A and B are shown apart, each in its own frame.
Chain A
Amino acid sequence: MAREYETVIGLEVHVELATKTKIFCGCSTAFGAAPNTQICPVCTGMPGSLPVLNRQVLEYAIAVGLATDCEITRYAKFDRKNYFYPDNPQNYQISQLYLPICRNGGVEIETAEGGVKRVGIHEIHMEEDAGKLLHDDWEDCSLVDYNRSGVPLIEIVSEPDMRSAEEVIAYLEKLRLIIQYLGASDCKLQEGSMRADVNLSVREAGAAEFGTRTEMKNLNSFKAISRAIEGERERQIDLLEAGEKVVQETRRWDDTKGESYAMRSKEDAQDYRYFPDPDLVPIVVSDEMLEEIRARQPEFRTEKMKRYREEFGIPDYDIEIITGFKRMADIFEAATAICGQPKKVSNWLMGETLRLMKEREVEAEDLRFSPENLAKLIALTDARVINSSVAKEVFEVMFEENVDPEKYVEEKGLRTVSDEGALRRTVEEVIAANPQSVEDYRNGKEKAIGFLVGQTMKAMKGKADPAAVNRMLKELL
């Protein structure tokens, strides 16, 4: 009988913090500028330049630590990690090894069996990002863009507490939501503002010792993470079944091929010669600072769900979906505050919004329509200025371009026709043109009236109130 294996997974998650300026200098962190336009002597490692810590980085790191049940290190330090690479202008990265800012935390995730499980967080540390190397095939040379050099990161190192891809995804979603709620990062895996390295080993079920682990890099989506975990689990089990050993190494996942390859083994692991950075003074987190950050912590999902239940009276299912995305919860609350109709706002989010997100592969963080415009759209339908199918049409445009629905309805002439005479004339024409359906209706086929309503709406280019059409048809028939 085949042996049973257990997968043991720990994650190292890098999150790019949403500060305006870099971690040790005043350069902008904005994404997408021309190469080497957001640089200075500090973030290009010029001789004689010195780093000065951006306080916002520290505050975000502490906020994430508090939200993940960590102990905050009251006397923390930065250390230098020494290695030579051209994207790293000083040839050392300023990071934290000995006294990281947060330690011994954890978050709770829901397991597949419906239970709750705590995933431990070993530590969270602050560090600087490196520049970006670009290979120019035409000139056969490599170029460096230092715009990203010095962009602040936190690295969240979990304990090896996860046992499946599902748990990993649940953990990542939990982290992402917490960090998004804090506004500390947008956490987009595709754009690299959230990056996860997977440490994975397998062992025979019931074994006390961990197996040899590998570290998997280059995982750019939840799907890639799931696939890489499955792939690596199988690869390691195959090795063990064949009587071979797993080599401790770093591997790179190729999601298009669905396989990984070894980057470097433990034998060629570098000695980073970590030591405290003498250019930066130790960080002393005072009681006042800690209390200030604690007091500023936003309402997280659990409290939000509770409040929604009490305040808005919308279904639990809706609450779960809406609070599952920071951006959706923001839209919901702001639109509800304007129009005072939580149920209707929720319906738009649960219905059309989710449908279009799925259809057009849009992430919740990228939703473009404003809560103001959604409130206006609701007001337009309430006042019967447009009917519900026109409203859906308008919403699609809002979803893409965040148009002002009032202006859009006027410009495109989408108002419902309220002229009784025009409606009566159209209905009469439809009755005359569809004798068979009229016949069916009169013979008791109630459904036939639906077809006639549809024909009338079509003839009026959708700009009629379906209820009024229905009433008119019944009256004339």
Chain B
Amino acid sequence: MTITDMTALQLAEAIRAGRTTAVEAAEAMLANIEAKDKKYNCYVTVDAEGALTQAREVQARIEAGELDGALAGVPVAIKDNMCTAGLLTTCSSKILYNFVPTYTAEAVRNLQRAGAVILGKTNMDEFAMGSTTETSAYGATRNPRNPEHVPGGSSGGSAAAVAAEECFFALGSDTGGSIRQPAAYCGTVGMKPTYGTVSRYGLIAYGSSLDQIGPLTKDVADCAAVLEIIASHDAKDSTSIERQDTDFTSVLTDDVRGMRIGVPNDYFGDGLDGEVKEAVLAAAKTLEEKGAVVERFDLSLVEYAIPTYYTIAAAEASSNLERFDGIKYGYRTGEYEGLHNMYRKSRSEGFGAEVKRRIMLGSFVLSSGYYDAYYLKALRVKALIKRAFDDAFARYDVILGPVAPTTAPRLGESLADPIKMYLGDIYTIAVNLAGLPAISLPCGMDGNGLPIGLQLIGDCFQEKKLIQTAYTYEKARGAFPAAAGEVE
């Protein structure tokens, strides 16, 4: 086993035991990035010098006995929508091509305090709007499982970097599936925590009421360890929640006896790929064999999740993205006549097509005369969807289903038909609307060798049940093959 094959927890253990150092780990990852990233384009910015400096400092503190956390010395990649002081933060948009924040996102600071080493910033769909990482202004990211396919999105750079072993783990953000879906496409583990568990301070907002930061990791144990570190109550985020139950690694036990698992019929209807269906149902069977009580049920309202989500997320985005106007930072058009012409040209030139589409959609649903018909109605449906989940969680500990209807599509297939792309979010977005936690982990491969993702959804604050179930499944499944990763 080479150093880069290790999980984050294994690496940290090896560093603590003196078998390797944080510096060696960072150097090995930087070498991998150097070798592979031209092909996969996982990163927008690689901070090689900064990473080595951090690694030396962290190593010294580990040796001095000042740092002994579960992830001390482990190199990490950060999605490029989280602010990092002194390090370019672009949201994969031209409009922030030169934006260097003066502050660091709280979730990233939590990692830094724990001794993680930041390698750089990962590619994403522009402002997290997209499901393929093709809307990035800095080129598409390719799926390390098969470079002709997309890695999913919007946290495609983070998922691909984990799969390609260009980092030991990564942070992503999930507004409608943006962690879970790329994790599924790339064959990694990804988790979206309960809304309010991880501070949003420093996360450049897309849909503020839906956005949540979470881990992308090689396995469930790493996922629990990362979440344990990034979860914190933050007075700088009004929507942050104070939780006492964030010792997520305490439930890494191989046991699901008595766990009540509901399998919604609604998630296995039309549009679901046969191989995906088969793999997910096989996973349910595995858990049943391990002692879980598995039952089919009707969740209802699933078909309303997509229009509801695109109304709310676009509305919030249209307002959140107003601050990008070419005045204070970021891209400003070269020539303009007067203030409003400057606004119009800077924004027209600075934003990509998908972002503009959602800004227009969001502006429309909030405009006078349409607010009640669209935005307010969407909020009501959102409340109904939450109630449907409440009913389900009265009976089940965990809801099990697919992450996405298919495996990763080929590059260039999705953007031509945005509606089809939006429909691909059908199994993930209701979770964001209801503020729930959900985890995605690999449960098989399709005929083309592309990974299939299993999604486990929990009630608010029930991450532990998800982690325990996922961990048990992972043990039963056995090692998941790593991405081939040969580089010409």
Do B238 and A89 touch across chains, with their CB atoms under 8 A apart?
A: no
Q: Please give me the residue from chain A that is nearest to B371 by CB atom.
A: A275
Query: A50 to chain B: which residues have CB within 8 Å?
Result: 200-201, 236-238
Do A47 and B318 touch across chains, with their CB atoms under 8 A apart?
A: no
**Contact partner of A46 among B101, B203, B239, B316, CB < 8 A?**
B101
Provide the B85-124 mask, 1 if CB < 8 A to any CB of A, else 0. Answer: 0000101000010010111010000000000000000000
A49 with B315, Cβ < 8 A, contacts A86-B327, A90-B322 known:
no
Q: Does A337 contact B (CB under 8 A)?
A: no
Do A90 and B367 touch across chains, with their CB atoms under 8 A apart?
A: no
Q: How close is B345's CB to chain A, nearest CB, in angstroms? A: 13
Provide the B186-206 mask, 1 if CB < 8 A to any CB of A, else 0. Answer: 000000000000001111110
Return 29 A-B CB contacts under 8 Å, by A number. Answer: A41-B103, A46-B328, A46-B329, A47-B83, A47-B101, A47-B323, A48-B82, A48-B203, A48-B205, A50-B200, A50-B237, A51-B238, A52-B238, A53-B238, A84-B343, A86-B327, A86-B339, A89-B328, A90-B323, A144-B327, A273-B318, A274-B371, A275-B315, A275-B319, A275-B366, A275-B375, A278-B208, A279-B238, A279-B239
Do B322 and A279 touch across chains, with their CB atoms under 8 A apart?
A: no
User: What is the CA–CA distance of A281 and B205 in the complex, to the nearest angstrom?
Assistant: 16
Size class of the contact patch on chain A: 20 to 34
Provide the A57-90 mask, 1 if CB < 8 A to any CB of B, else 0. Answer: 0000000000000000000000010101010011
User: What is the CA–CA distance of A84 and B327 in the complex, to the nearest angstrom?
Assistant: 11
Q: Could you tell me the dominant secondary structure of chain A's interface residues?
A: loop
Q: Does B448 contact A (CB under 8 A)?
A: no
Q: Does A418 contact B (CB under 8 A)?
A: no
Do A84 and B325 touch across chains, with their CB atoms under 8 A apart?
A: yes
User: What is the CA–CA distance of A53 and B238 in the complex, to the nearest angstrom?
Assistant: 8
Do A47 and B238 touch across chains, with their CB atoms under 8 A apart?
A: no
A273 with B319, Cβ < 8 A, contacts A52-B238, A279-B238 known:
yes
Q: Does A441 contact B (CB under 8 A)?
A: no
Q: Does A44 contact B (CB under 8 A)?
A: yes
Q: Does A92 contact B (CB under 8 A)?
A: yes
A279 with B315, Cβ < 8 A, contacts A48-B202, A50-B237 known:
no
Do B238 and A271 touch across chains, with their CB atoms under 8 A apart?
A: no
**Contact partner of B319 among A46, A92, A144, A271, CB < 8 A?**
A92
Interface residues of B in 299-340 (CB under 8 A from A): 315-316, 318-319, 322-325, 327-329, 339-340
Q: Please give me the residue from chain A that is nearest to B127 by CB atom.
A: A47
User: What is the CA–CA distance of A376 and B325 in the complex, to the nearest angstrom?
Assistant: 60
Query: B371 to chain A: which residues have CB within 8 Å?
Result: 273-275
Do B323 and A45 touch across chains, with their CB atoms under 8 A apart?
A: yes
Q: Does A91 contact B (CB under 8 A)?
A: yes
User: What is the CA–CA distance of A351 and B328 in the complex, to the nearest angstrom?
Assistant: 55
Most chain B CB atoms below 10 A, which of A90, A274, A278, A279: A278
Q: Does B368 contact A (CB under 8 A)?
A: yes
Do B201 and A48 touch across chains, with their CB atoms under 8 A apart?
A: yes
Query: A89 to chain B: which residues have CB within 8 Å?
Result: 323, 328
Provide the B228-269 mask, 1 if CB < 8 A to any CB of A, else 0. Answer: 000000011111000000000000000000000000000000
Query: B99 to chain A: which residues have CB within 8 Å?
Result: 47
Query: B208 to chain A: which residues have CB within 8 Å?
Result: 278-279
Count A-B contacts at CB 8 Å: 96
Q: Does A280 contact B (CB under 8 A)?
A: yes
User: What is the CA–CA distance of A80 and B324 in the complex, to the nearest angstrom?
Assistant: 16
Q: How close is A4's CB to chain B, nearest CB, in angstroms? A: 37
Q: Could you tell me the dominant secondary structure of chain B's interface residues?
A: loop
Q: Please give me the residue from chain A that is nearest to B343 by CB atom.
A: A84
Q: Does B143 contact A (CB under 8 A)?
A: no
Residue tally, chain B, CB below 8 Å to A: 44
Q: Please give me the residue from chain A that is nearest to B339 by CB atom.
A: A86
User: What is the CA–CA distance of A49 and B104 in the complex, to the nearest angstrom?
Assistant: 10
Q: Does B146 contact A (CB under 8 A)?
A: no
Query: A275 to chain B: which residues have CB within 8 Å?
Result: 315-316, 319, 366, 371, 375
**Contact partner of B83 among A48, A84, A144, A273, CB < 8 A?**
A48
Q: Does B32 contact A (CB under 8 A)?
A: no
Which residues of A pack against B, CB within 8 Å? 41, 44-53, 80, 82, 84, 86, 89-92, 144, 271, 273-275, 278-281
**Contact partner of A82 among B83, B89, B322, CB < 8 A?**
B322
Q: Please give me the residue from chain A that is nearest to B105 by CB atom.
A: A48
User: What is the CA–CA distance of A66 and B204 in the complex, to the nearest angstrom?
Assistant: 39
User: What is the CA–CA distance of A91 and B347 in the complex, to the nearest angstrom?
Assistant: 13
Query: B200 to chain A: which residues have CB within 8 Å?
Result: 50
Q: Please give me the residue from chain B that is nearest to A269 by CB atom.
A: B368
User: What is the CA–CA distance of A281 and B103 in the complex, to the nearest angstrom?
Assistant: 24
Do B235 and A52 touch across chains, with their CB atoms under 8 A apart?
A: yes
Q: Please give me the residue from chain B that is nearest to A84 by CB atom.
A: B343
Known contacts A47-B91, A53-B238, A275-B375; 6 further A-B pairs (Cβ under 8 A): A41-B102, A46-B328, A47-B205, A48-B83, A279-B239, A280-B238
Do B83 and A52 touch across chains, with their CB atoms under 8 A apart?
A: no
User: What is the CA–CA distance of A278 and B200 in the complex, to the nearest angstrom?
Assistant: 12
User: What is the CA–CA distance of A271 and B369 in the complex, to the nearest angstrom?
Assistant: 10
Interface residues of B in 10-26 (CB under 8 A from A): none
Query: B203 to chain A: which residues have CB within 8 Å?
Result: 48
Q: Does B363 contact A (CB under 8 A)?
A: yes
Query: A51 to chain B: which residues have CB within 8 Å?
Result: 238
User: What is the CA–CA distance of A52 and B328 in the complex, to the nearest angstrom?
Assistant: 22
Query: A273 to chain B: which residues have CB within 8 Å?
Result: 318-319, 363, 366-368, 371
Query: B366 to chain A: which residues have CB within 8 Å?
Result: 82, 273-275
Q: Does B4 contact A (CB under 8 A)?
A: no
Query: B45 to chain A: which residues have CB within 8 Å?
Result: none
Most chain B CB atoms below 10 A, which of A46, A48, A271: A48
Q: Does B209 contact A (CB under 8 A)?
A: yes
User: What is the CA–CA distance of A273 and B363 in the complex, to the nearest angstrom?
Assistant: 7
Query: B324 to chain A: which residues have CB within 8 Å?
Result: 47
User: What is the CA–CA distance of A46 and B323 in the complex, to the nearest angstrom?
Assistant: 8
Q: Please give me the residue from chain B that is nearest to A41 by CB atom.
A: B103
Do A91 and B103 touch across chains, with their CB atoms under 8 A apart?
A: no
User: What is the CA–CA distance of A48 and B106 in the complex, to the nearest angstrom?
Assistant: 10
Q: How close is A440's CB to chain B, nearest CB, in angstroms? A: 81
User: What is the CA–CA distance of A275 and B370 in the complex, to the nearest angstrom?
Assistant: 12
Q: How close is A42's CB to chain B, nearest CB, in angstroms? A: 8
Provide the B395-412 mask, 1 if CB < 8 A to any CB of A, else 0. Answer: 000000000000000000
Do A91 and B102 touch across chains, with their CB atoms under 8 A apart?
A: no
Q: How close is A359's CB to chain B, nearest CB, in angstroms? A: 47
User: What is the CA–CA distance of A144 and B327 in the complex, to the nearest angstrom?
Assistant: 10
Do B328 and A45 touch across chains, with their CB atoms under 8 A apart?
A: yes
